[in-house]
Amino acid sequence: MKKLILIACLLIYSNGWAYNETNLLKLKAINVCQGCDLSGINLRDTNLSGANLSDADLSGAYLRDTNLSGANLSDADLSGANLADTDLSNADLTDANLHNANLADTDLSGADLTNAHLSGANLRGAKYCKTKMPSGELNDDCEE
């Protein structure tokens, strides 16, 4: 009986730890996945430019070297996600949760980070140019 209960618990709780395959197929088919569960997914080196991922759960996702330029990530949960070397230029990250995310060497040019939660985020080497910062001010630190 104990083994049966343990197996049932593992089956129930394991679904909460991984992304939903149907959501991934939807994203690949139409570049839209609003409110989807894509937690823990590996989308390294994927072209998702212009994707609508607003309110999506991308916590713990591996998005290194991904093209998310012009993507709508407003209200998305990207906590603990690896976004190193990712193109987030002109992306909408308003109210996004980027707590403990790795944004090292990420291109944030023209991105909107209004009210984004960046506590514990690694922003080393991130590129800012006409980036709207969490407090609403415009960071115009453009390199020539």
CATH code of the domain containing 137: 2.160.20
Give me the residue label for tokens 């916590």.
59
The Cα 15–Cα 27 span in angstroms is 19
Q: What is the largest CA-CA distance in the chain?
A: 68
Which of the four pLDDT bands, split at 50, 70 and 90, describes residue 2? low
Q: What are phi and psi of 42, to 5 degrees?
A: -110, 105
Residue 6's pLDDT is 42
Q: What are phi and psi of 2, to 5 degrees?
A: -65, -40
**Interior angle at CA 141, CA 71 and CA 97, nearest 5:** 40
Per residue in 15-56, pLDDT tens? 445 688 888 888 988 999 999 999 999 999 999 999 999 999
Residue 128's pLDDT is 93
**CA-atom Rg of the chain in angstroms:** 16
State the residue range of the domain holding 64: 1-144
In 3D space, the residue among 132, 10, 90, 30 whose CA is nearest the CA of residue 73 turns out to be 90
pTM listed for this prediction: 0.85
The Cα 144–Cα 130 span in angstroms is 13
For the residues of 28-84, what is the DSSP string, one character each?
A: HHHSB-TT-B-TT-B-TT-B-TT-B-TT-B-TT-B-TT-B-TT-B-TT-B-TT-B-T
Tally of structural domains, the chain: 1
Per residue in 55-108, pLDDT tens? 999 999 999 999 999 999 999 999 999 999 999 999 999 999 999 999 999 999
Per residue in 123-141, pLDDT tens? 999 999 999 999 999 998 7
